[in-house]
């Protein structure tokens, strides 16, 4: 039996709630419910009774949980021993979308690695669809995906099907990114009609599979333009925006230094909708010390971009 089931069951007993246990374990409620059900089917009896008071252990469940706690404690000791053994080898892997504040967090984070100690750092920038597959298949430990708020049902369904746990990093309005010489650059607040005669820059692999292109204007949550330039590189996006003063791109807010270095500005437009950035990992994965240090840096940079001057 997967010993991770023991961790799940212990947390459910501790909280008396699937929802709270899922939050504590950084996984979705449906994923945890399915794991508990699979565990009970595997051992052949119910560990918990579902009642108005929450999840209550059965008599046989109490016996099971007593053994589970002993095994989980031994597994934890073994993991600590392995971590101590591997402390001299720094391992970190992450798959992320092409987002500037995330790139800033990653670059600042890996600069803090001990250069005198062995390290293996693997960073991938890709589309959200492929990032989910890369993490689910075990090629990358952590991932960040971005989707339009209106597409949430599709992505949450996909995450649950792939047995990925997830938590939100940032949800906010899209901003219009453009050259500081763009005709719209002097307007602080923009409307949908302002963009009709200009050229949209977009990542070429960022489509949601179930949405036909003809439906994307409504379903994606972002305004779409019939004049588009598709790119697949963050560097290329900045080049195009900088050199074509009639182009623009829908983005999350960028770090100030990125805007200044590329001669760009960002402007608000409520009609553009909202994005969500979600941290993902395989169900049951427990963050390492390096993972948690990265998340601290990621949230610090997010806060600086979102709320800084």
Does residue 280 carry a pLDDT above 50? yes
Q: List the single range of 42-46, 223-227, 244-248 with lowest mean pLDDT.
A: 223-227
Q: Is pLDDT larger for residue 74 or for residue 14? A: 14
The length of the chain in residues reads 309
**Residues with Cβ within 8 Å of residue 90, at least 6 apart in sequence:** 113, 114, 117, 118, 119, 120, 121, 290
Residue 265 confidence class, pLDDT cut points 50, 70, 90: very high
pLDDT at 134 (0 to 100): 94
Q: Is pLDDT larger for residue 81 or for residue 271? A: 271
Distance CA 124, CA 143 (A): 9
Percent pLDDT > 90 in the chain is 49
Distance CA 97, CA 128 (A): 6
Distance CA 264, CA 201 (A): 14
Nearest residue to 11 (alpha-carbon basis) of 70, 69, 53, 77: 69
Residue 163 DSSP symbol: T
pLDDT at 176 (0 to 100): 92
Contact 194, 271 (CB under 8 A): no
CA angle 231, 237, 243 (to 5 degrees): 115
Distance CA 107, CA 103 (A): 6
Q: List the single range of 75-79, 164-168, 208-212, 294-298 with lowest mean pLDDT.
A: 208-212
On the 0-12 / 13-18 / 19+ scale of CB atoms within 10 A, 137 is exposed
Does residue 222 carry a pLDDT above 60? no
pTM of the predicted model over 0.85: no
| H-run or E-run covering 259 | helix 256-262
Mean pLDDT, range 171-181, rounded to an integer: 93
Contact 257, 103 (CB under 8 A): no
Contact 155, 161 (CB under 8 A): no
Contact 143, 279 (CB under 8 A): yes
Task: Express each pLDDT in 194-216 by its tens digit.
Answer: 998 999 998 887 666 554 333 34
pLDDT at 177 (0 to 100): 94
Does residue 185 carry a pLDDT above 50? yes
Distance CA 103, CA 121 (A): 14
The region, left, alpha or beta by phi > 0 then psi within -120 to 50, assigned to residue 273 is left
Task: Express each pLDDT in 240-251 by its tens digit.
Answer: 999 999 999 999
CA contacts within 13 A on the Cβ side of 239:
8
- Give the position of tokens 């008071």: 53
Residue 220 confidence class, pLDDT cut points 50, 70, 90: very low
Domains of the chain, each with CATH number or no CATH: 4-84 (1.10.10.10), 86-171+276-307 (3.40.190.10), 175-272 (3.40.190.10)
| Whole-number average pLDDT of the chain | 85
């Amino acid at each position: 039996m997967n010993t991770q089931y023991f961790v799940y069951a212990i947390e459910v007993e501790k909280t008396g709630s699937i929802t709270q246990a899922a939050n504590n374990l950084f996984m979705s409620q449906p994923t945890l419910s399915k794991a508990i059900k699979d565990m009970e089917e595997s051992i052949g009896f119910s560990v918990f009774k579902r009642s108005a008071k929450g999840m209550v252990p059965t008599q046989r469940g109490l016996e099971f949980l007593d053994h589970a706690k002993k095994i989980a404690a031994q597994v934890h000791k073994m993991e600590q021993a392995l971590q101590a053994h591997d402390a001299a080898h720094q391992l970190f892997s992450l798959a992320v979308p092409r987002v500037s504040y995330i790139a800033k967090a990653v670059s600042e984070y890996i600069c803090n690695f001990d250069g005198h100690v062995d390290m293996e750092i693997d960073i991938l920038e890709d589309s959200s669809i492929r990032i989910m597959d890369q993490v689910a298949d075990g090629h990358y430990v952590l991932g960040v995906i971005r989707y339009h708020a209106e597409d949430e049902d599709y992505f949450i369904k996909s995450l649950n099907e792939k047995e990925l746990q997830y938590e939100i990093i940032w949800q906010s309005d899209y901003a219009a990114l453009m050259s500081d010489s763009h005709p719209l650059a002097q307007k602080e607040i923009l409307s949908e009609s302002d963009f009709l005669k200009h050229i949209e820059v977009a990542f070429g692999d960022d489509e949601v599979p179930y949405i036909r292109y003809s439906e994307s204007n409504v379903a994606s949550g972002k305004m779409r333009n019939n004049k588009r330039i598709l790119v697949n590189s963050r560097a290329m996006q900045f080049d195009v925006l900088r050199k074509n003063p009639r182009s623009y791109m829908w983005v999350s807010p960028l770090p100030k230094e990125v805007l200044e270095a590329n001669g760009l500005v960002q402007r608000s437009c409520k009609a553009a909708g909202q994005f969500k950035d979600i941290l993902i990992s395989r169900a049951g994965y427990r963050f390492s010390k390096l993972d948690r240090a990265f998340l601290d840096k990621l949230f610090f940079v997010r806060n600086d971009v979102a709320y800084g001057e």
